[in-house]
Every structure is written in C-alpha cells, then in structure tokens.
Structure 1
Amino acid sequence: MTDDPTTLKIGLPKGSLQDPTVDLFRRAGYVIEVSSRNYYPRIDDPALSCVMFRSQEMSRYVEDGVIDLGICGHDWVVENGSDVHEVCELKYSRATTRPAQWVLAVPEESEVSTPEQLAGGIVATELTGTVRRYFEEKGIELRKIEFSWGATEVKARLIDAIVDITETGSSLVANKLRVIDTILTSTTRLIANQQTWADPAKRARIEDLALLLQGAIAARGRVGLKLNVPREKLEAVLGLLPAAKSPTVNELADPAWVAIEIIVERRTERELVPRLHRAGATDVFSYPLQSVI
C-alpha cells in the first residue's frame, strides 16, 4: 500500500465475496489483480490502493482509519458496533442479490417454537454480540452463547439452537432446521471512515466510486436492444415496449424506417424479441451492459 496521503486506501473482502467483488470492479471499469500469496491487490487507478481483509474485521479497520473505506456486510458493522459512514448499499453476493438473513433456528423435531422457550439454553453463533443484544432486549436469559467457528448448522442438534446466516435457505433445509425468528437482515455496504468522509475532496471521490459500482450492479440482469422498424409499424412496436422509460427513436437514411434502442430486463428479452419481430421489427440484436447510471 502507498503512503501517499491523497491516495484512498480501500479494503476488499477476502473469502466468499472476493471473486464477486473483483468482478464488480471490473464491470465498473477497474482492473484488480489479486495474488493468492499477497494481501495487497494491484488496481489500475493510481488514486486507489487496496488491501484484503475478512468482512468480519473490515469495519474496525475503517473506523480506526487504517483504511479509508471498505466493502463488507452490514451485519459486521452492527456486530462490531463500528462508527463508520455507510456510503451505499451494494446488492451483490456469491449466491443471490437477495439480502442475507441471520436466523434463529432449531431442529425440525424440536418442541421450541419461540425465542422465549430457549431461556436457560445454549445458542451457537458467529455473531455473538448481536445475538446477546437480541436476547437481552427480549429479556431472555440464556445459559450461554457459544462462539461457532463454522459448520454452525451441524451443532443445532448438540445444543438448543443456532443463529446462522442464510441467503437461499437451502442449507437450513438440507440440515432439517426450522427458523423461529430473524435476528438481522444484511446486505453488502461500501463504508467509509468518518474523517475521510468529512474531507470534501475525498468524499467526492468516494461518491464517484460508489456511483460506478452501483451502475455496474444496475446493469446486471439487463440488456440493450437495438432494432429497425418500418415507420408504418412504429406505433405497434412501441406499444410492446416496457412503459417505464421512453425508448430512443432515431431517423435512418431511408425515411420509411426508424431505429429503436432500449434497455430491458434480461428475463423479459426472450419473450419480447419474438413479439417485436412479429410486429414488424427487423435486425433485432441485444448486447450486454457494463454499467447503467
């Protein structure tokens, strides 16, 4: 990492979010080179320097000013009680764009159906501080909150309950666990050190970066469509297009034809294109998007 005070030091998450984060930056226009033996990735922007941290510890280093900004889950900001500025939400992950949830779960065969029934019991979790506050706020006294080093689902039948993170719920189903409450909902965030955020010049650069990252996320799941349409069939074709935003309509050299360009959701493309073709559109082609801002 550089010691240049004008360089923004950014923490990138190591672990399951590492590859999706590198890909997100690529789609936002940055090239990051990560070595398996080096915690300091190279980025093709001299105004940025990178270091890898686990998401669990990212907010602490941002709060302390070791780095200016970082990417981590909101859950770890809450767990660490970190005083940082949450710049924006970045809805991406390794599995789904849906928020992750920390859930209180018991085996399917358990007689427990409410958190209150766990009084005097043992709960295992990686999120010990948040879970402790959850039970304290409910006035439920546990015998112990056990820190879990992983494979938390396996421990549900050895103790009374677990609190674990889930995105799809598939692991809970596979381990025959039943959710009795949701403790925390979390998405990935871009966070900044409070002093860094208070600096107008650095804040502007962080906002620019946030804009590009959010634009790359917005482009995921969308495609651009271009098509030519006889002017006499323009109204019919326009009637098939999504009504949320007006498409771009350009004149062609032949006054009897126009060109249309629009951005649509990828999942609607397969239904829309055949309908456009039947309505008279020709030369229809789609292209991937890097960013939508």
Structure 2
Amino acid sequence: MSNKLKIGLPKGSLQDATIKLFAKSGWKINLHHRNYFPDVNDEELNISMCRAQEMSVYVADGVLDVGMTGKDWILENNSDVVEVSSLVYSKVSNRPARWILAVAGDSPYQKPEDLEGKKIATELVGCTKRYFEERGINVEVFYSWGATEAKVVEGLCDAIVEVTETGTTIKAHGLRIIDEIMQTNTRLIANKNAWNDPWKRKKIENINLLLQGALRAEKMVGLKMNMPKSSLDEAMKVMPCLNSPTVSSLSNPEWVSVEIMVEEMAVRELIPQLIDMGAEGIIEYPLNKVI
C-alpha cells in the first residue's frame, strides 16, 4: 500500500479560495454534493473538508496529518501542533483578518475598560476571556451562534468580538470598533507525529513550497518585450525584477528580447516608461507560481 497523507481543508467561507489556491499549485480538487471527502489528482493525498474552528483539534489528535486553519483557532483550542507556515490569503483580500472589539455606534463605551461588568458576545470565547483577564477587566463572555453583529443592535449584549477583513460589515450594522484583539491568517499546520515521519514531512514541505509559490505569483506578472540594445542599460534601472532580467539576442543585432517578473501594481507605471525607451511588442501574462 502506498503512503498516504491525510490533509484537512477549511469548509465554509475560505473553501473556494483554498481550492483555487491548490489548483494553481498543481492539485485539482473535485467536490461532490454533500460529500466531505473530495477527489484530488494525487494518489498520495486523502482530503477531508472540515470547519476551520475544529481543524487544529483534528490535527493535534492525529485524525489528520496536516490541515489549514486560522491562527485564531489554534489559540482558541490550545492545539499542540506544528505550524509549518503562514498562508496569507482570504475570500476578500490577501491580508490578515482582524478580531475586533466593537460596540454600538451611539454607545458611551470608548475603550475596553468601559466595559467593566458588561456582556460580550463572540464565537472566540477562550481568546476573548484571556484578553479581558490580562487587562483586569471583569466581563461576562458568552458564545454567539451567529449573527453576532446584530446582538448589540438588539440589546442582547453590550459589545462583541468579531472577525473582519475590511470592517464593512461592522460599519453596516452601525457598530464602532474600540480595540483590536488580534490579527490572524491561515496557517498550514501538522500533527507532530506526522511531522517526524520522513515521508510525510517531505510531502508536507513540498505542498507548502508550491502553495507559497502560488501565493507569491498572485501579486506578480510576467512582461516580455523587444527593445533597442542601446536602451537596455537605461531600462534595467527602472525594471523592478526579482533578480536581473532575461535578455536574449534577436536576428537584428541592434535589438534584444527582454523578459522580467514584476509586481502587478508596478506595471501601470513601468509600461509607459519602457515605451518611451523604444520597447515594442510588450506582452503581459499571468503567473501560476513564483518559486
């Protein structure tokens, strides 16, 4: 029987973004309706779809060899796992999410200390309790099963601790942020026994290598162009490539072909500069992985 790595992927809001990331990394995952065990084009992988809130528990207990979950849920569950790497991606933006402390916009509370003796609703109960205990603030923290933002509006609590990426939903509910509890992003985590197994560790490291390459490529593009050889030195001063550009000779000895990888946001400023230097036939193309 061949070696198998049991990997857990987050079900829910990050599911589509995770499957897309794996596809760019070389693994095609096919979900089935009402099935938590999708197919993948790798006979060495067994994939399970799990809630991110529970993932670190399954990995710590050895039900899974490796999984993807937020740093917040690792801390919430006090899970004894190996944190292999940080994977900064999300359904909205490639930046860490924030757990924030928020109150009604018209409430008198301006800082955490003002909540002494008040009720706090959150899904992140353990971390929230530790946050207030560390500050010596006595509050009642209770678990929220959903629609946490509405609980302040309905008068069921005095404040909430909720996760947000942009703050849009918080503002839409008329709430005001008074502090940040923590920042969190997805982590690739491993069971300690699996990490100490040579075959499994190598497989995990290879997966991480390609996932990181795919994430790095999301912010970059390739540029290829022809330009006068006489402009090459000037062009190299403005081309923010990873190392030095790839330069190839053309049949016309006075021209060269140049290929670079650059940050996508830099392209809008770079292309006009290259045109002014005589570049022609500029092609911009997306990248799957940059390693």
Does the alignment pair 1:84 with 2:81? yes
1:65 to 62, 67, 70: 62
1:74 to 51, 58, 71: 71
User: Runs of 5+ in structure 1 lacking a partner?
Assistant: none
Tell me the TM-score normalized by structure 2.
Answer: 0.96
Match of 2:115 in 1: 118
Give the deviation of 1:240 after TM superposition. 2.6
Match of 1:288 in 2: 286
Q: Residues 84 and 190 of structure 2 are in contact (CA less than 8 Å); yes or no, is this contact kept in structure 1?
A: yes
Q: Report the Cα distance in structure 1 between the residues aligned to 2:33 and 2:104, rounded to whole angstroms.
A: 38
Tell me the TM-score normalized by structure 1.
Answer: 0.95
2:148 to 147, 152, 165: 152
Q: Residues 92 and 188 of structure 1 are in contact (CA less than 8 Å); yes or no, is this contact kept in structure 2?
A: yes
Q: Report the Cα distance in structure 2 between the residues aligned to 1:166 and 1:253, rounded to whole angstroms.
A: 56
2:104 to 99, 103, 107: 107
Percent identity for Structure 1 against Structure 2: 51
Does the alignment pair 1:255 with 2:250? no
How many residues matched?
289
- Say what the alpha-carbon RMSD is for the aligned residues: 1.3
Aligned counterparts, 1:214-253, within 5 A: 214-242=212-240, 245-253=243-251
Q: Report the Cα distance in structure 2 between the residues aligned to 1:22 and 1:243, rounded to whole angstroms.
A: 29
Moved more, 239-248 or 88-97: 239-248
Q: Deviations over 1:41-72 (max 9, x none)?
A: 11101111101100000000000000100011
Give the deviation of 1:237 after TM superposition. 2.2
- SS of 2:267 mapped into structure 1: helix
Q: Report the Cα distance in structure 2 between the residues aligned to 1:122 and 1:217, rounded to whole angstroms.
A: 40
Match of 2:9 in 1: 12
Q: Residues 40 and 50 of structure 1 are in contact (CA less than 8 Å); yes or no, is this contact kept in structure 2?
A: yes
2:167 to 169, 184, 188: 169
Q: Report the Cα distance in structure 2 between the residues aligned to 1:61 and 1:243, rounded to whole angstroms.
A: 42
1:191 to 177, 189, 192: 189
Q: Residues 36 and 49 of structure 2 are in contact (CA less than 8 Å); yes or no, is this contact kept in structure 1?
A: yes
Q: Residues 237 and 280 of structure 1 are in contact (CA less than 8 Å); yes or no, is this contact kept in structure 2?
A: no
Give the deviation of 1:243 after TM superposition. 6.4
Q: Report the Cα distance in structure 2 between the residues aligned to 1:33 and 1:52, rounded to whole angstroms.
A: 12
Give the deviation of 1:242 after TM superposition. 1.7
Give the ranges of 4+ consecutive aligned residues of structure 1 lying more than 4 Å apart after TM superposition: none
Q: Residues 237 and 281 of structure 1 are in contact (CA less than 8 Å); yes or no, is this contact kept in structure 2?
A: no
Q: Deviations over 1:63-109 (max 9, x none)?
A: 00001000111111011110011110111100111111111111111
User: Runs of 5+ in structure 2 lacking a partner?
Assistant: none
Q: Deviations over 1:238-287 (max 9, x none)?
A: 23312663211122232221111101111221221122112101111011
Q: Report the Cα distance in structure 2 between the residues aligned to 1:59 and 1:91, rounded to whole angstroms.
A: 18
Q: Report the Cα distance in structure 1 between the residues aligned to 2:241 and 2:28, rounded to whole angstroms.
A: 36
Q: Residues 242 and 261 of structure 2 are in contact (CA less than 8 Å); yes or no, is this contact kept in structure 1?
A: no
Q: Residues 241 and 262 of structure 2 are in contact (CA less than 8 Å); yes or no, is this contact kept in structure 1?
A: no
Give the deviation of 1:121 after TM superposition. 0.9
